[in-house]
Amino acid sequence: MTNKKEPKIEIKDLKFCHNGKVLLCVDYLRIDSPGITVIVGPNGAGKSLLLKLIQGIELPSAGQIRLNGLPISDKRQSQSMVLQTPILMRLSVYQNMSMCFERKNFFISASEKQKIIDILSRVGLGKKLSAPAKLLSGGEKQKLSLARSLISNPSILLVDEPTSTIDPNTTMLIEGLIKDQSKKGTKIIFVTHDINQAFRLASDAIMIYQGKIVEQENVISFFENPKSDFTKNYLAGKLLV
Amino acid sequence: MQFINETLSLAWGLILGFDSKVFEIVWLSLKVSLTSLILSCLFAIPLGIILGVYKFVGRNFVVLILNTLMGLPPVVVGLSVYLLLSRSGPMGWMNFLYTPYAMIIAQFILIFPIISSLTCQKVEELNSEYKDLFVSLRVKKTQQFLIFFLDSRFALLTIFLAGFGRAISEVGAVIIVGGNIDHVTRMMTTAIAMHTSQGDLSLAMALGIILLLIALTVNLLVFSLRLFVKRYGYD
Ligand SMILES: Nc1ncnc2c1ncn2[C@@H]1O[C@H](COP(=O)(O)OP(=O)(O)OP(=O)(O)O)[C@@H](O)[C@H]1O
Ligand SMILES: [Mg+2]
C-alpha cells in the first residue's frame, strides 16, 4: 500500500498563522530516516504546533503535509500522538485504554484485553487498572497517555515531551519503550527539552527556533558540529527566547 | 393550628396505614412518570449527543427550539396533546384521550427538551475537551459516541433525575389530557388539586407529603451522586 521510496514525512510551504502572526513556517521538511527524530528548541518555538499539524489536530493556514506519500486525512494512515498535556477521560485507567483502542469487534476480545493489561504493566500501571484516571499523579497520567498511543502500533508516532514530569528511573523505562517501538518499524518524532535524552534516542535531530526550522542533521553532526549559531547557542545553554 | 395538626395526623395515618386509595394513586403516578421519562431518555439522549457533536445545518435552530421548549408551560402542552388526541384530532383514532397513555405522551413532550438540551450542553463541553484526544488517537466516531455516553454517565443520571422531578410534580398537562378519572388517570398532583378543592384535606395532605418525600429522595440522590463523583475524580 505505501511506497517504500516515499519519505516518511514530507512538508511543503507549511504556514500556521494566528491573528496575522506567523507562528510556524516550514518551507520544506523531509524526514525519511527510519529511527527516532528528535525535535528541540526553546519554549514557544513551535514544536508542539508542528506535531499537532502533522497529526491533523491543528489545520495549516497554507501548505501541505504528506505521510508515507499520503495526505494526513487518508483513512489508511495509522499514526498517533502523545499530547504534551495528557487528556484523560472520566473513566478508569483500563477503560481509558480500551475505549480509545481500535478493536476488531464491538466487544474487546480476551487477547486484546491481555494486550492492554500487558502494556499497562510495562509502564508500571498494572496495579491501577481500575483506578479513576483523573486521580493519577502527573507522571502516571503521562505514562497512561503514552501507553494509549503505543497500543495501536502506529506506523508514525509523535511524542511531545513524554518524560517531562517523570522520575529518572521511569524515564529510562519509557525511553526503552520508545526504542522498542522504533525497532518494530514505527517512525517516531520525539520532542524534548532534555539534551542528554535527545542524544540518547535520536538518529537525527531538528532544531526549531521562533517558528522556523533552523537545523536538521544526523545526531552526531547536530550535537558535535552544529551548523547554525542558534543550535550552537541553544546546546550551550545560551539561547534566549 | 389545631386544624392543621388534625389534618396532618390524619394524613400520616393514611400513609403509615398504607391506605390503598393513596398508594394506588402514588403507584400510577410513578408508573406514568417513569415510563415517560425512560421513553424520553431513549430518544433525547442520542439526540443530545448528536447535537453536541455535529455542527450540521439547522443544528442551532434545533437547539434554540429545544431550549425554548424547556420552559414550556405544562398547560400549553396539555392543550396541544388534547387537540392531537381528541376525537376529531389527527391522532383521535388511537382513543388515548383520558387514558394513562395520553398522560405519558404529555409528559414525554414536557421532559424531552429538558433531557436533550442538557445532554447536548454536557456533550458540547466534553467534545471540546476531548477533540484533540480523538484526533491524536484517531478514535472512530462510533467509539466517540460510546465515550460521550460513558463519560457523562453521572451527569446523565443527574439529568435523568431532573426530568423525573419535572414529570412527577407536573399537574397542568396531565389533568387536561388525563381528566383525573378515579382508578384510571388520577395522579398525585391531580388528586391533590381535586381533594383540596373538595375540602378532603387529609388525603390531599397525605399525597403532598409523599410527593415531598419523593422530591427529597431525588435531591438526596443527586447530592450523594455529586459527592461520589467528586471523591472519585469523575467530575
Ligand atoms: N492553536 C493555536 N492558536 C494560536 N496560537 C497557538 C496555537 N498553538 C500554539 N500557539 C502559539 O504558538 C507558539 C508555539 O507554541 P508551541 O506549543 O508549539 O510551543 P512549544 O515549542 O511546544 O513550546 P514548549 O516547549 O513550551 O512546549 C506559542 O506562542 C503559542 O502560544
Ligand atoms: Mg510544546
Which domains are delineated in chain B? Answer: 2-230 (1.10.3720.10)
Q: Measured between beta carbons, which residues in chain B are less than 8 angstroms from residue A135?
A: 232-233
**Which range (A99-108, B57-66, B202-211) has the least confidence?**
A99-108
The pLDDT confidence band at residue B231, using thresholds 50, 70 and 90, is: confident
User: Residues A168-193: what's their mean pLDDT?
Assistant: 93
User: Residues B140-158: what's their mean pLDDT?
Assistant: 91
Interface contact B137, partner A, CB < 8 A: yes
Q: Which residue of B has its CA nearest to A56?
A: B135
Region of residue B199 (left: phi > 0; alpha: psi -120 to 50; beta: else): left
Read off the C-alpha cell for B128: 471540546
**B32: closest CA of chain A, how far (Å):** 33
Q: Measured between beta carbons, which residues in chain B are less than 8 angstroms from residue A79?
A: 138
Residue A215 CA to residue A230 CA, distance in Å, equals: 9
A43 CA distance to ligand 2 centroid (A)?
Answer: 7
pLDDT of residue B127 exceeding 80, the answer is: yes
The pLDDT confidence band at residue A221, using thresholds 50, 70 and 90, is: confident
Distances (CA, A) of A14 to A22, A24, A59, A138: 10, 8, 10, 33
Which ligand 1 atom is nearest residue A19's CA?
A: 4
How high is the pLDDT of residue A3? 45
Helix (H, G, I), strand (E, B) or coil at A17: strand
Handedness of CA A46, A51, A57, A58 (dihedral sign): positive
E-assigned strand segments in chain A? 9-18, 21-31, 36-40, 62-67, 70-71, 79-82, 156-160, 187-191, 204-209, 212-218
The residue whose C-alpha atom lies closest to atom 22 belonging to ligand 1 is A48
Read off the C-alpha cell for B217: 429522595
The pLDDT confidence band at residue A1, using thresholds 50, 70 and 90, is: very low
User: Residues B21-36: what's their mean pLDDT?
Assistant: 95
pLDDT of residue A2 exceeding 80, the answer is: no
A49 CA distance to ligand 1 centroid (A)?
Answer: 6
The pLDDT confidence band at residue B228, using thresholds 50, 70 and 90, is: confident
Question: Topology of domain A9-90+138-235, per CATH?
Answer: Rossmann fold (3.40.50)
How high is the pLDDT of residue A69? 86
Interface contact A61, partner B, CB < 8 A: no
Within 13 Å, how many C-alpha atoms sit on residue B32's CB side?
A: 33
Give the start-to-end residue ranges of the domains of chain A: 9-90+138-235
| Per-residue pLDDT tens digits for B166-221 | 999 999 999 999 999 999 999 999 999 999 999 999 999 999 999 999 999 999 99
Percent of chain A residues topping a pLDDT of 70: 96
Is A46 close to ligand 1, i.e. is its CB under 6 Å away?
yes
The residue whose C-alpha atom lies closest to atom 25 belonging to ligand 1 is A43
pLDDT of residue A240 exceeding 80, the answer is: no
A44 CA distance to ligand 1 centroid (A)?
Answer: 5
Contacts of B226 (CB under 8 A, 6+ apart): B158, B235
Nearest CB to A87; choose among B129, B143, B146:
B129
Is A156 close to ligand 1, i.e. is its CB under 6 Å away?
no
The pLDDT confidence band at residue A102, using thresholds 50, 70 and 90, is: confident
Q: Measured between beta carbons, which residues in chain B are less than 8 angstroms from residue A85?
A: none
Interface contact B228, partner A, CB < 8 A: no
Inter-chain contact A80–B130, Cβ cutoff 8 Å?
no
